[in-house]
Structure 1
Amino acid sequence: MCSLIVQLRVVALVLFGFACGALFPVKAASDDGVLVLGRISDNPQEHYEQLKPLLDYVVPRMADVGIREGHILMAKDAHQMASYLRRGRVDWVTETAASAVLLQERAGAEPILLTERDGTSYYHSVFFARRDSGIRSLGDLRGHNVAFQRPSSTSAYYVPAAELLTRGMRLEILLAPTDGVASQEVGYLFARSELNISTWVHKRLVDAGVMSNLDWDNPRHMPPSFARDFVIIGKSEPYPRALELVRGDLDERVRQRLEQVLADAAADPDASEALLKFFKTTRFLPLDKQAGESLRRLATGIDRVRREVE
C-alpha cells in the first residue's frame, strides 16, 4: 500500500510539472548539482517510467563534476521545452530529429550524440497508396489527398511535407477526407496514429499515406493484410532516428562528462536494462558528417513547411 502511494505521488508530481510548467520545482545542473532531463510528451506517466532508469544510471557517474541529483521535466510541445532550455531549467533533452532542429533554432540547444534505437540510428519516410488507385509516383499526388500522422512528427509530417514542397506541390489542409482538392494541390489530414494512416488508405478515405520505414515494417502499424494491397510511391532521404541535446550554456565539464557516460553505456552491463527502457536504445553514437548534413537538410525543410504550409 505504501509503495502504491509513493508511486501515485511521483506520477502526480510529474503530471503537475507537465501541466503547470513554471511552477515545477526543478533546478538545473548549474544549481545545487541537479541534472534535469527533459522530454516533449503527450504521455508524461509512460515517459517518466522510460526516462527515470537511465537518469538514475547517469547521475552517480557524474559525481566528479558535481552532479548529485537527477530530475525530469516534461513539456507539452517544442515551444514550452524551448522556454525551459532558454531559462536554464532543463540541461539534457532526448528528442526526435525534427524536435531537435526546432530546439536548436528556438533555444540554442546543441546535439551531442545520435541515439540508436533497436539497432537503428537512421530511418526514412515511405509514401504509399492502394495498388488499384492508379497512383504510382509522388507526382501523381496532385489533385489527391494524403494522411500525415501529427503536426510534430518527423517521419510522417515534416519530412514528407518538405519533400512534396521541394517537388513544386502546394499543400492545403483539409477539414475532412471528403473535401475537394484542386488539381494542382495536395490535400492533407492528420490521422493521429500510424495504424489510422494505413487504415484510412486501405478503406479509401484518403488516397495516400506516409510513415517511417520502421512503421511500414511493423505489423501493428501496417497490417500485412493491408500491405498486400499497397504500393510504395516514394521515399525520403534518411535522417537520424533520435538525438541527445544539451542547453547551449551548460557547464562544459558537465556536458563532456554526460557525453562520455552515455557513449560508454552500451559497453556497461549495468546500463542494459536502463537503455532498454529508454525507448529501446541500443547505444549512443558520435555525431558524424551524415548526421550534420541530414540535420541541415531537415532544418531547411522544416523552415519551408512553416513558411509555406503552417
Structure 2
Amino acid sequence: MTLRTSCRWLLLGFVLVASVVASPAWSTPGSHVLVLGRVSDDPKAHYGQLKPLLDYVVARMGDVGITEGRVLMARDTHQMQSYLRRGRVDWVTETAGSAMLLEARGGARPMLLTERSGVSRYHTIYFARRDSGISSLDDLRGRSVAFQNRQSTSAYIVPAAQLLERGLSLDILLSPHDAAEPASVGYLFARAEVNTASWVHKRLVDVGVLSNIDWDNPRRVPASFKRDMAIFARSPEFPRALELVRGDLPPRVAARLREVLLEAGTDPAAANALASFFGTTAFLPVDPRTRGELDRLRAGALRVAAEVE
C-alpha cells in the first residue's frame, strides 16, 4: 500500500465516523460508548452494513451504561489486533479465520456464532478444469492456485493451512503468467470470486478455491464456466462468522451485549438491521462443537501466518 493510498483510506475512515461522533475514531472511547469494529477493504460500504445493528443494540444497553455507538474500521487484522489490545474497540464481527487470529494475538474472546442467510457453517471447495489432470490435493505440487485475499477464511486461510498440512510449501507468484516452482504450490490473490473462476476457466491458474456458497452462486461462478470445471476436493466444515469482544470488556457489558444479540434473531424490530448486517439471520452460542472447530481453525491460521506471510 502506497503512502497516498494509506492516507486516502484513513481520511475515508475518519469521514465515515465524523458525522456520528464528536471525537476522532482513534480517540479512547468513554465507558458509555460501545465501539463495533470490522476489518475492511471497503469501509464506506461496511459502515452502512454495521451501523443499523449497532444502533439497535445501543438502544437496548442503557441499563449497563451504554448510550452511544461508534464504528471503527481496520485495514487488516494486524491493525485490529492493536485496537483490541489498546481497548479502542469493544465488539468485532469477523469471519472465523480472522477471528481466531484476533483471539490469539489480540486477546479477543469469541462471544457468538453468526448465522448468515440461514447458514452457520460452510466449507472450502477446490476446483480445476476437467481436462487439467488434477484429481487430488497431492497433484498440486508445481501447479498454481488462486486464493481470494488474505482476510478470507474459506478462500485463503483454510486451503492454505490444508496444503501446508500435506507437506506442500506455498510461494507467491508475480502474476498469473509466472510459473510455480516444481517443488511448491504457486499462489496469487484474485480479489473477487468471479476472478478466481475466470482465471481457472481461462487457464491462467490451475486451481481455484472458493466457499461452497460462492461456488453455487451463478453470479460468482457462471454456468458457462462451471461446465468446464470440476470440484476435486473439499475441506471439513467450519463456522461462517463470529462476534467477538475484547478480553477486558466489563463482564456486565459483555453479558448484556450477548443477550441482546441472541434475542435479536427473533425480534421483528431487528429484522432490517440484521439483513443489513451481512444477511445475518441469527446469533448462536459457541457450543463445544463450535469451540473444537475454532481450535482447529486457530492452529491453521497461526501456521499460515507463520509460514506463508
Same fold (TM over 0.5): yes
> How is 1:115-264 mapped onto 2 (pairs within 5 angstroms)?
115-264=114-263
Return 5+ residue gaps in structure 2 as ranges. 1-11
Q: CA deviation at 1:16?
A: 7.1
Return 5+ residue gaps in structure 1 as ranges. 1-9
What secondary structure sits across from 1:61 in the alignment? coil
Deviation digits for residues 58-116 of structure 1 (CA, Å, limit 9, x no counterpart): 11111111111111111111111111111111110101111111111111000100000
- Return the letter of the residue paired with 2:60: R
Question: For the residues of structure 2 that align with 1:152 and 1:39, how far apart are their CA atoms?
Answer: 11
- Return the letter of the residue paired with 1:70: G
What secondary structure sits across from 2:60 in the alignment? helix
Tell me the TM-score normalized by structure 2: 0.91
Question: Is the 8 Å Cα contact of residues 77 and 98 (structure 2) preserved in structure 1?
Answer: yes
- Return the letter of the residue paired with 1:55: L
Question: Is the 8 Å Cα contact of residues 13 and 73 (structure 2) preserved in structure 1?
Answer: no
- Return the letter of the residue paired with 1:48: Y
Q: Are 2:15 and 1:13 aligned?
A: yes
> How is 1:39-50 mapped onto 2 (pairs within 5 angstroms)?
39-50=38-49
Q: Give the count of matched residue pairs.
A: 296
Question: For the residues of structure 2 that align with 1:142 and 1:225, how far apart are their CA atoms?
Answer: 28
Tell me the TM-score normalized by structure 1: 0.91
Distance 1:11 1:249, change over 3 A: closer
Question: For the residues of structure 1 that align with 2:107 and 2:166, how far apart are their CA atoms?
Answer: 30
Identity among equivalent positions (%) equals 61
Distance 1:23 1:271, change over 3 A: closer
Q: CA deviation at 1:181?
A: 2.3
Q: Are 2:90 and 1:91 aligned?
A: yes
Distance 1:135 1:223, change over 3 A: same
Runs of 4+ in structure 1 over 6 Å off? none
Correspondence for 1:106 = 105
What secondary structure sits across from 2:149 in the alignment? coil
Question: Is the 8 Å Cα contact of residues 27 and 34 (structure 1) preserved in structure 2?
Answer: no
Q: CA deviation at 1:25?
A: 5.5
- Return the letter of the residue paired with 1:118: S
- Return the letter of the residue paired with 2:144: N
Question: Is the 8 Å Cα contact of residues 14 and 24 (structure 2) preserved in structure 1?
Answer: no
> How is 1:71-86 mapped onto 2 (pairs within 5 angstroms)?
71-86=70-85
**Farther off after superposition, 74-83 or 120-129:** 74-83
Question: How large is the RMSD of aligned CA atoms in angstroms?
Answer: 1.9
Question: For the residues of structure 2 that align with 1:32 and 1:308, how far apart are their CA atoms?
Answer: 39
**Farther off after superposition, 175-184 or 60-69:** 175-184
Question: For the residues of structure 1 that align with 2:83 and 2:50, how far apart are their CA atoms?
Answer: 18
Question: Is the 8 Å Cα contact of residues 127 and 232 (structure 2) preserved in structure 1?
Answer: yes
Question: Is the 8 Å Cα contact of residues 112 and 285 (structure 2) preserved in structure 1?
Answer: yes
